């Protein structure tokens, strides 16, 4: 028997390429049918947003578990009592923000995450927005010749790449795990989404080092072209946070970029990462 949709849920696109605000639902209390409905909205829009969801850590974890398995972040300790929830913090006196480069999360793992869920706790009076970019659209917009080349390539994803230093929170020593190490793995440059069957560009500026069988010097011109191409304005959306706002994005087909334009103010978020699958 088909499950009846929650008719209170409203979906409003925030940009042409990806991103939608979802309203009419209290995330502290969603049943399985509503969770399935939200997942379909998530798959369609790549990143979805909720407002005024002031969840406790346990409620945040319970909500996230409706959509996958929360896993510990590989390089940063979780908050007290909740190893799966990390704090993403920029203090008033800091100038570098966590993850301050376009990227997909932890693509240097054998099994990169399916998605990430970010909950705003403290927000500066202005700035601190986050942008996302649609990697289905980025792939689709490539020439047929370049698609054919990339479809046959694998790329090295590394946590040790210089550009990744902005995503590793080395500056917050109290947040670093004691068993930190560098990770590296080969993944396809173009992956097929396991749920939608669509192809997405799967290189990113933070973690992609080179193509398999190519030197770094040979790889660099093509990678630089792709980095610029995949975040063209027409592929992106931008979200303005408020305390209690939640963003839930698909790490398999969307990149994100936290904008660092709020020096002198504090920005504190909680994030949960959901287990994914091996890119194919």
In this predicted structure, what is the pLDDT of residue 1? 38
Q: How confident is the model at residue 181 (pLDDT cuts 50, 70, 90)?
A: low
Which among 118, 113, 136 has a CA at the least distance from the CA of 253?
136
CA–CA distance, 158 with 173 (Å, rounded to integer):
21
Percentage of residues of the chain with pLDDT beyond 70: 91
Task: Please name the fold of domain 10-274.
Answer: Double-stranded beta-helix (3.60.130)
Catalytic residue list contains 105: yes
pTM for the predicted model, two decimal places:
0.92
Give the CB-side neighbour count of residue 249, counting CA atoms within 13 A.
27
Residue 165 in this model has a pLDDT that exceeds 60: no
Q: Of these residues, 168, 187, 256, 267, which one is catalytic?
A: 256
pLDDT band at 265 (very low <50, low <70, confident <90, very high): very high
Res. 130 pLDDT band, cuts 50 70 90 = very high
Q: C-alpha angle with apex 116: 54 to 216, nearest 5 degrees? A: 150
3-class DSSP state for residue 259? Answer: coil
pLDDT at site 174: 45
Stronger pLDDT, 157 or 75, i.e. the higher one = 157
Catalytic residue among 187, 210, 252, 271: 271
pLDDT band of residue 5 (cuts 50, 70, 90) is: low
Per the CB < 8 A criterion, the answer to whether 118 and 269 are in contact is yes
Q: What is the DSSP letter of 174?
A: G
* Of the candidate ranges 3-17, 18-32, 90-104, 109-123, the one whose mean pLDDT is the lowest: 3-17
Contacts of 31 (CB under 8 A, 6+ apart): none
The separation between CA 72 and the C-alpha centre of its own chain, rounded to angstroms, equals: 15
Active site residue 54: no
H or E segment and range at residue 58: helix 57-65
Q: Give yes or no for residue 56 having a pLDDT over 80.
A: yes
Q: Is 193 a catalytic residue?
A: no
Percent of the chain with pLDDT over 90: 85
Query: Is the pLDDT assigned to residue 170 strictly greater than 60?
Result: no
- HSE-up (13 A, CA, CB side) for residue 200: 27
Q: What was the pLDDT predicted at 98?
A: 82
277 is catalytic: no
Residue 6: the pLDDT is 79
Q: Given this model, what pLDDT does residue 167 score?
A: 45
Which position has the higher pLDDT, 218 or 3? 218
Dihedral sign of CA atoms 95, 96, 97, 101 in order = positive
Q: Which two tokens stand for residue 83?
A: 């190893």
Catalytic residue from among 105, 210, 252, 270: 105
């Amino acid at each position: 028997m088909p499950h009846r949709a929650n008719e209170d849920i409203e979906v409003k696109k925030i940009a042409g390429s990806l991103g939608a605000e979802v309203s009419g639902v209290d995330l502290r209390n969603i049943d399985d049918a509503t969770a399935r409905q939200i997942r379909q909205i998530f798959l369609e829009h790549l990143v979805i947003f909720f407002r005024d969801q002031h969840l406790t850590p346990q409620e945040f974890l319970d909500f996230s578990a409706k959509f996958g398995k929360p896993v510990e972040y590989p390089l940063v300790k979780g908050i007290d009592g909740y190893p799966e929830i990390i704090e993403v913090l920029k203090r008033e006196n800091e100038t570098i923000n966590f993850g301050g480069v376009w990227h997909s999360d932890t693509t240097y793992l054998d099994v990169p995450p399916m998605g990430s869920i970010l909950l705003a706790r403290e927000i500066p009076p202005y700035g601190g927005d986050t942008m996302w970019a649609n990697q289905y659209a980025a792939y689709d917009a490539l020439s047929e010749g370049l698609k054919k080349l990339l479809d046959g390539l694998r790329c090295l994803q590394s946590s040790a790449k210089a550009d990744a230093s902005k995503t590793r929170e080395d500056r917050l020593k109290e947040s670093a795990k004691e068993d930190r190490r560098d990770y590296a793995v080969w993944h396809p440059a173009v992956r097929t989404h396991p749920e939608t069957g669509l192809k997405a560009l799967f290189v990113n500026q933070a973690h992609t080092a080179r193509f398999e069988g190519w030197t770094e010097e040979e790889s660099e011109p093509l990678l630089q072209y792709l980095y610029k191409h995949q975040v063209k304005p027409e592929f992106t959306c931008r979200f303005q946070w408020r305390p209690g706002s939640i963003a839930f994005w698909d790490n398999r087909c969307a990149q994100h970029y936290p904008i660092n334009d709020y020096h002198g103010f504090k920005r504190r978020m909680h994030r949960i990462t959901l287990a994914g699958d091996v890119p194919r």
